[in-house]
Every structure is written in structure tokens, then in C-alpha cells.
Amino acid sequence: MNVTRRQKRVGSLIKEEIGRLLVEEIQDFSSCLITVTRVEMSSDLKNAYIYFSVFGSEKKETILERLEARKGHLRKSIASKVKLKYNPMLIFSPDPLIEYEERIDSAIKKIKKNEK
């Protein structure tokens, strides 16, 4: 799938705005750090796939439920800040790349340990 420059630019704007909203509104109620790792836009810019990671004591499922509950408010806030023809639907998901990277790191450490 080719990602256009416009998709990247819109994704970057949405990532910045969602990050700001998370710090101001969502993180105040939790004891963890929520980070937007990446935003991928659909080719028609009508869907924004928002990947996040959680560092701290709360579970990803709890944060996902909280984000889903606030989705309408977040979407409205983005619409007021990012001027687009269509206000994209927000689709939240925990970022699987973080866990994948951790598994690779642990596998490399095991291999290095076995070599010694």
C-alpha cells in the first residue's frame, strides 16, 4: 500500500492533536503514561487508525475502553483544530510493534547469553 504525502501530513496533524488531548484530558485520571506511537490514515482520509502504548500500572484494555468512551469528544476536538473536508473516524488500537520489539530484544539477549 502506497502512503501518500497527504496521508502522512494529515496523520501527523492528528497524532499531534490526539497526543495533546491525551495529556490534557485522559492522563489526568490515570496513573500511567499514554503515548500515541503512530497514526495511519486510510486512502480516502475518512479513517484514522491510532496506535498507542501504555507505560505504567494500568492495562491496555482499560485505556482502550476509556478512549472508546471518549471517542466522540476527541473526534469533535480534532475537527475544531484540524481543518479537513471530512472528520475522520477514530479507530484506537494498542500498538503491537512495541511487544514485537520487546520479544526480538529478549531473543537477541538469549542468543548473546548462550554465546558466552
What value does the mean pLDDT take over residues 95-109? 83
Quick check: 98 pLDDT over 80? no
Give me the number of domains the chain comprises: 1
User: Among 39, 36, 37, 30, which residue's Cα sits nearest to residue 59?
Assistant: 30
What is the pTM assigned to this prediction?
A: 0.80
Contact 79, 46 (CB under 8 A): no
What value does the mean pLDDT take over residues 78-93? 89
The pLDDT value given to residue 101: 79
Quick check: 9 pLDDT over 70? yes
pLDDT by residue (tens digit) across 27-56?
Answer: 766 677 888 999 999 999 999 999 998 887
User: Among 73, 27, 18, 70, which residue's Cα sits nearest to residue 48?
Assistant: 18
The pLDDT value given to residue 29: 63
Which CATH number does the domain housing residue 45 bear? 3.30.300.20
Higher pLDDT, 52 or 99: 52
The pLDDT value given to residue 30: 62
User: Among 51, 7, 53, 12, which residue's Cα sits nearest to residue 32?
Assistant: 53
pLDDT band at residue 115 under the 50/70/90 scheme:
confident
Domain holding 70, by residue range, is: 5-115
User: What element of type H or E holds 90?
Assistant: strand 89-94
